[in-house]
């Protein structure tokens, strides 16, 4: 973008402007509504516990940046920053972000961890003050949507994360062209802000879209599934059981049909736990109401697909036993994984 220079200086991401521009941010240093000629994203260790203002002032002085610099802190690698540009009405919208997820949190969850998502939006078009506020809200919505669709989970509750507890964001207008009053998703510039931030955060998260990753974030590892499977064995356990189980399990989890049903179970648990499944009360969900059959049907579909009638029978056995980690899971996921374990064990013994 003309008049904007992005550069990496050691552990610092610096965005310089050729002239002073209007900026709205909730940065720890020079935040709020002000004019600035520079944005700084300064990387600190995960163990960082100093005062943010003191650390940023020192960094600004060492880098010989102007005193009006708006400063941010992050424990994420600034070298892995992502950026996305979108043009609208002949003007450009540029988004940049650095992403750290070790501090991912849902709504209302707090932490003092310094891993964070810092997002910077530069809008070439002139935005007045209410449009800057609107743009800030649009960018936050886009970030939260990217986190939700990528199924990023809170590191404390395993519930959906909307960001981290220390996220920060800045919107800058370069002041070119007619001033706009609005920058929400109903406007062209707001749509461009949403698209650029969404793609930027999505690229920064760079998640492996693996069902194994998503299960691990819910406290379910492949080793934990084996321990549950092993506990259900009657009589002497065959040699090489773990190796054979893992081979069949990974084979099952490489099938998009199995993955789709497990993902459906995970999403249904998210919906039902908030009372969003029509005609299913939250109290009924948490008590695993016998009127609900969809969880059993998901389990039967997985078991039948992997190992036929034997798989369904073994699913029912593990569903009754619910050994180890399977006993800790919510309504839909417990049936999906009881089925996965039961059917996988059938495949192990058949082979």
Kindly state the tokens that stand for 188.
């062209």
* Residue 320, pLDDT above cutoff 70: yes
Angle at 334 between CA 302 and CA 150, to 5 degrees: 80
Coil, helix or strand at residue 323: coil
| pLDDT value at residue 221 | 96
Higher pLDDT, 210 or 320: 320
CA distance 281 to 264: 19
**CB–CB of 344/248 below 8 Å?**
yes
Give the pairing type, strands 82-88 and 91-99.
Answer: antiparallel
Helices (H), the chain: 52-62, 129-149, 188-205, 211-216, 222-231, 241-252, 256-273, 282-286, 294-321, 331-350
Q: Which stretch of DSSP H or E encloses residue 19?
A: strand 12-25
Coil, helix or strand at residue 164: strand
CA distance 295 to 287: 13
What CATH class has 211-350?
mainly alpha
pLDDT digit string, tens, across residues 59-102: 999 999 999 999 999 998 999 999 999 998 889 999 999 998 87
Quick one: pLDDT band at residue 162, thresholds 50, 70, 90?
confident
Of 294, 265, 261, 300, the residue nearest 279 (C-alpha): 294
**CB–CB of 93/193 below 8 Å?**
yes
- Tell me the whole-structure pTM to 2 decimals: 0.81
Residue-averaged pLDDT of the chain:
93
Quick one: pLDDT band at residue 209, thresholds 50, 70, 90?
low
The CATH number of 4-205, from 3.60.70.12, 3.10.20.30, 3.90.550.10, 3.90.1170.50, is 3.60.70.12
CA distance 256 to 268: 18
| pLDDT value at residue 207 | 60
The size of the chain, in residues, is 351
Tell me the average pLDDT across 220-225.
Answer: 97
Lowest-confidence region among 99-108, 150-159, 221-230: 99-108
* Residue 196, pLDDT above cutoff 90: yes
* Residue 139, pLDDT above cutoff 60: yes
Of 220, 211, 125, the residue nearest 172 (C-alpha): 125
| pLDDT value at residue 111 | 57
**CB–CB of 110/165 below 8 Å?**
yes
pLDDT digit string, tens, across residues 274-307: 999 999 999 999 999 999 999 999 999 999 999 9
Q: DSSP string spanning 24-83?
A: EE--SBS-EEEEEEEEEEEE--TT--S-HHHHHHHHHHHTT--TT-EEEEESS-GGG-EE
- Residues linked to residue 24 through DSSP beta bridges, in sequence order: 33, 171
Quick one: pLDDT band at residue 237, thresholds 50, 70, 90?
confident
| pLDDT value at residue 110 | 63
Burial class (CB in 10 A: 0-12, 13-18, 19+), 283: exposed
**CB–CB of 93/124 below 8 Å?**
yes
CA distance 44 to 77: 9
Lowest-confidence region among 97-101, 174-178, 180-184: 97-101
Q: Indicate the domain borders of the chain.
A: 4-205, 211-350
* Residue 115, pLDDT above cutoff 90: no
294 CB-near residues (< 8 Å, 6+ apart): 268, 332
């Amino acid at each position: 973008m003309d008049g904007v220079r992005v550069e990496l200086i050691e552990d610092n991401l610096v965005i310089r402007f050729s002239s002073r521009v209007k900026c709205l941010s909730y940065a720890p240093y020079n935040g709020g509504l002000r004019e600035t000629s520079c944005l700084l994203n300064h990387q600190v260790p995960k163990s960082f516990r100093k005062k943010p203002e003191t650390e940023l002032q020192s960094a600004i002085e060492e880098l010989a940046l102007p005193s009006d610099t708006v400063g941010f802190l992050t424990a994420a690698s600034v070298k892995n920053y992502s950026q996305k540009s979108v043009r609208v009405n002949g003007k450009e919208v540029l988004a940049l972000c650095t992403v750290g997820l070790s501090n991912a949190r849902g709504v209302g969850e707090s932490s003092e961890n310094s891993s964070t998502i810092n997002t910077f939006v530069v809008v070439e078009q002139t935005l007045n003050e209410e449009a800057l506020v609107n743009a800030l809200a649009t960018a936050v919505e886009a970030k939260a949507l990217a986190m939700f669709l990528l199924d990023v989970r809170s590191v404390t509750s395993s519930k959906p994360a909307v960001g981290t507890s220390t996220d920060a964001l800045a919107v800058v207008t370069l002041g070119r062209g007619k001033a706009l009053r609005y920058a929400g998703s109903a406007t062209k510039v707001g749509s461009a802000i949403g698209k650029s931030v969404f793609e930027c955060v999505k690229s920064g998260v760079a998640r492996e879209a693996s069902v194994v990753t998503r299960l691990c974030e819910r406290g379910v590892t492949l080793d934990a599934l084996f321990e549950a499977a092993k506990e259900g064995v009657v009589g002497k356990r065959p040699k090489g059981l773990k190796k054979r189980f893992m081979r069949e399990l990974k084979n099952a989890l490489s099938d998009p049909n199995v993955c789709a049903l497990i993902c459906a179970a995970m999403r249904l648990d998210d919906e039902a736990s908030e009372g969003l499944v029509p005609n299913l009360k939250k109290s009924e969900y948490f008590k695993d109401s016998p009127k609900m059959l969809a969880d059993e049907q998901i389990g039967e579909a997985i078991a039948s697909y992997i190992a036929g009638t034997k798989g369904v029978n073994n699913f029912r056995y593990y569903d009754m036993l619910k050994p180890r980690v399977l006993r800790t899971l919510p309504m839909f996921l417990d049936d999906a994984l009881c089925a996965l374990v039961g059917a996988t064990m059938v495949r192990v013994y058949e082979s």
